[in-house]
Structure 1
Amino acid sequence: MAGHAPPPNWAGLRRRLTGTLVLPGDGGYDGARRLYNPAFDRVRPGGVAYCANAADVSQCLAFARAGGVPVTTRSGGHSYAGWSTGTGLVIDVSRMSSVAYAGGRATIGAGAKLIDVYDRLARHGVSIPAGSCPTVGIGGLTLGGGLGVVSRQHGLTCDVLESVRLVTADGRLLTCDAQHHAGLFWACRGGGGGNFGVAVSFTFRTHAARELTVFSLHWPWSRAGAAVRAWQSWAPSAPAELWSSLHLGRGAGGLDVQIVGTYAGRKSALDRLLAPLTGKAGRPSARMARTVSYLDAMKFMGGCSSMSVAECRRMPRVAFSAKSHLAYRALPADGVRALVSGVARGGRHSVLLDAMGGAIGRVAPAATAFPHRAAMYSVQYYAEGTSREWLRGLHSDMSRHFGDHAYVNYIDPDLRNWRNAYYGANAARLAEVKSTYDPGRLFRLPQGV
């Protein structure tokens, strides 16, 4: 970073890449610099490198080191804080998106989008536990843990990770697993994307992708409190084959209470499992359940059930902001009232409670970098647009009930005590891994390990 460093030689970098470097003034620059969330459209990187392979990544990191150029990595471009872009060099791994399957293992490029992972693995009759948004990149999801719609049965995405290929700050390509660079492998399972290197591919254990029963239940807003109380006493302890999410929302159509989910079993068995919930929450005003292929279930949960895979890949960009909690204990009566009244306030926003437990809780908190194994459910506060006022107000109100726990994949630029909130007792070990593999802190995020 010395004052006499020569200006970065972008043209030289372009010549050294097999992939494509897009610079300001190039035809594709406006498209190349965009993330999923339009809230960050004003950010103008010095360059966006679409890396074709690990060697390209190494060249980019050498360029960043030599020129003192800030560097950030991007897989799907869904960082909630916009930290998959920056004013320096953006290393984009989206072209490394292959999905291969052999002998119970899936090897997936770090730039693959979830809808393509689900689609290509479904052709082999298998899948991995992953998230719901079809355009999220597998890279960020895995590195932050990977909560998803079959996590209670099959674990987090990082729980089925067997190895990761990662380019470190010094340009080396390392294959990390339980025997090789075991500390770095541990950190890559929940330590957050962009901290330790640039992941280029992952190898996962797969599970059979059998049919799933998807379901949706609605209640009038007058039943919101009853639905929260019933759901939180039922969902985290339901059989592991049953995952569900409670949505409290205020949108164009008014206030809504909905529970959606997936069940690895028949509709008749699901009806029996839902009975204790509806017994306490009251009879739903609308109810849907149908048994579909695994891929169709993932499309349903991703909000693109009526679309082709190609259309799912092109989901419209929407401006939003979000915050999170992880619930280690059930909300008391005054907590339920605070949550329900908070959602009822003016605006367009929602709170999503996603059931945990099951396979997630069978892994020790220190076994991977993801610490929140004992949580009952995750809480996501989601607001349309870019204002954070409602989010901050309700998050603050709920912190006295939920405490100071947050999910790194719902990264939150407001958090002061983020290190403890994301990583808990694992923060110290993550800092050790960071100092081993990136002592010069080439990879820097505002909330970087």
Structure 2
Amino acid sequence: MDRRDSSRRETPVDRRDVLRAAALAPLAPLVAPGTPPPDWARLRGRLAGTLVLPGDAGYATARRLYNPAYDRVRPGGVAYCESAADVSACLAFARDNRVPVTARSGGHSYAGWSTGKGLVIDLSRMRSVAYDGPRFSGPSQGAAKPDPYSDGRATIGAGAKLIDVYDRLSRHDVSVPAGTCPTVGIGGLTLGGGLGVVSRKHGLTCDALESVRVVTADGRVVACDATRNPGLFWACRGGGGGNFGVAVSFTFRTFETGDATVFFLQWPWSKARAVVRAWQSWAPSAPEELWSSLHLARSAGGLSVELAGTYLGRKSSLDRLLAPLVGRAGRPSSRSARTVSHLEAMKIMGGCSSMPVAECRRIPRTTFSAKSHMAYRTLPEDGIRALVNGVARGGRHMVLMDAMGGAIRRVDPTATAFPHRAALFSVQYYQDGMDRSWLRALHADMSQYFGINAYVNYIDPDLENWRTAYYGPNAARLAEVKATYDPGRLFRLPQGL
């Protein structure tokens, strides 16, 4: 629920077959013919954690990602690492045996690239969430502060799921800006930038990052911040996971939480164009405390237009803030809003409202495919028409547009590796199943309006000019960081730097 350049029509089957093969076999074999097989038993003996091999109990579970479409990928081994030392041992094994290696925090890679046919380093046991700082009480969201962050710091293991981050920090009345899906790992989210529900007020996840510990390709555990390994620190703030090393823990500045109001508005499909027109002009410039996501969907129930959002304040102020949108789009057919705790707001946005946290960790896996754009300008009338007509085509799919602006925009595009600071909103094209034909068609239609800009955390195996799409002017500097910290290219993805 979080839920490219394809402007040309796809040429015959062979290109699609190549892309599909890349998605299902992320890393090309490194082992030369005649090389002795890896000594997996030796690796097992070096780990404090658990190594799961084909034939072992638990292998079927160990190789799963969030998307069941990638269940067919069979890693040579999955290492549940307990520490940075375990990660270092895994990288030594991969180097010595020329085994492809992939790191996994939450397993939500849209292209399935958090698994592979070699060694998967699973960080899910490195999920601690520690807070150091004052505990706050009472709402404070309305207070004007030059710096929205508190004096507290949260140190979080790379395998922690977002629902656990929100839950543990809520006990201290603080949080960090992060995403919506409860089972996404904090590691992958941060490394790709980290768009989320409070980004307009508090910035991206990577904007709150103060330091990160990374195990580099040569097995060293290095601390990265503004003064220690600053180039690698810069790259870890939006340069994408799987490129430079294995991040094992993050230290973030936290912000004090208060009440939040979640709201939902729905319109009949006949109003879809009017709603898109009104929303794209209103949402990016709304008060920073107000975030919204516009959904155009076709499902078994038909076509729908819904606005979901979060306001970091109380319901009594929300109507005034929504009035400009409603005045332009027309009166919604249904409307609801309620003020809840910050944790409950994150659960509602994550689709597990009123569930225990343990249930939020077990949301059902979903087979889906997706593409994205980063919108630097609003759609003209013919673009709005193309978008609405595209959603109306047969199938089960959705377009999600998430408001940006605010604190995201105030950061220079080169200050971190995430380049899309000036984007007005992100666009995600989301389709049930793995038939990408609808995605490709609508994405191609919309590329004439949005260009090729895309979000690396919605990684897209179709993209040809992906370096520019994901990283823009920061691609060259990222390549320099790659050459410095992984000169032998141990970490290799199909869209790897």
Common fold, TM-score beyond 0.5? yes
Pairing 1:173–2:203 present? no
Pairing 1:423–2:471 present? yes
Map of 1:90 onto structure 2: 120
- 1:10-50 CA distance string (max 9 Å, x none): 01100110000000000100000000000101000000000
- Give the deviation of 1:266 after TM superposition: 1.7
Range with bigger deviation, 408-417 or 265-274: 265-274
Q: 1:388 aligns with which of 388, 413, 436?
A: 436
Map of 1:233 onto structure 2: 281
CA contact (8 A) 2:344 2:354 kept: no
- Give the deviation of 1:137 after TM superposition: 0.2
Q: 2:74 aligns with which of 39, 44, 61?
A: 44
1: CA distance, partners of 2:70 / 2:96: 28
CA contact (8 A) 2:127 2:160 kept: yes
2: CA distance, partners of 1:88 / 1:211: 46
Runs of 4+ with >3 A deviation: 1-5
1: CA distance, partners of 2:258 / 2:156: 21
Map of 2:157 onto structure 1: 109
Map of 1:205 onto structure 2: 253
Q: 1:253 aligns with which of 268, 292, 301?
A: 301
Q: Using structure 1 for the length normalisation, give the TM-score.
A: 0.99
- Give the deviation of 1:3 after TM superposition: 4.3
Map of 1:307 onto structure 2: 355
1: CA distance, partners of 2:345 / 2:279: 21
- Give the deviation of 1:163 after TM superposition: 0.3
Pairing 1:354–2:419 present? no
The structure showing larger relative contact order (alpha-carbon pairs under 8 Å, at least 6 residues apart) is 2
- 1:185-228 CA distance string (max 9 Å, x none): 00000000010000100000000111101000000000000000
2: CA distance, partners of 1:269 / 1:327: 29
Map of 1:75 onto structure 2: 105
Identity %, equivalent residues = 79
2: CA distance, partners of 1:340 / 1:324: 16
Q: 2:487 aligns with which of 436, 439, 444?
A: 439
Map of 1:23 onto structure 2: 53
- Give the deviation of 1:306 after TM superposition: 2.6
- Give the deviation of 1:269 after TM superposition: 1.2
2: CA distance, partners of 1:46 / 1:89: 6
1:362 is paired with a residue whose SS is: coil
Map of 1:58 onto structure 2: 88
- 1:111-169 CA distance string (max 9 Å, x none): 00000000000001000000000000000000000000000000000000000000000
Map of 2:12 onto structure 1: none
Letter paired with 1:418: W
Letter paired with 1:431: A
- Give the deviation of 1:106 after TM superposition: 0.2
Map of 2:385 onto structure 1: 337
Map of 1:8 onto structure 2: 38
CA contact (8 A) 2:101 2:120 kept: yes
Q: Extract unaligned runs of 5+ from structure 1.
A: none
- Give the deviation of 1:5 after TM superposition: 3.5
Pairing 1:137–2:185 present? yes
Map of 1:120 onto structure 2: 168
1: CA distance, partners of 2:401 / 2:33: 50
2: CA distance, partners of 1:111 / 1:185: 19
- Give the deviation of 1:268 after TM superposition: 1.8
2:213 is paired with a residue whose SS is: strand
- 1:301-356 CA distance string (max 9 Å, x none): 00100311000000000100000000000000000000000000000000000000
Pairing 1:410–2:440 present? no
- Give the deviation of 1:170 after TM superposition: 0.2
CA contact (8 A) 2:157 2:249 kept: yes
Pairing 1:401–2:468 present? no
Q: CA RMSD in A?
A: 0.6
Pairing 1:378–2:426 present? yes
Letter paired with 1:84: S
1:201 is paired with a residue whose SS is: strand
2: CA distance, partners of 1:419 / 1:119: 36
Map of 1:218 onto structure 2: 266
2: CA distance, partners of 1:122 / 1:175: 27
Letter paired with 1:387: D
Map of 1:265 onto structure 2: 313
1:163 is paired with a residue whose SS is: strand
- Give the deviation of 1:264 after TM superposition: 1.0
- 1:63-109 CA distance string (max 9 Å, x none): 00000100001000000000000000000000000000002000000
Q: Using structure 2 for the length normalisation, give the TM-score.
A: 0.90
1:142 is paired with a residue whose SS is: helix
2:408 is paired with a residue whose SS is: helix
2: CA distance, partners of 1:192 / 1:11: 32
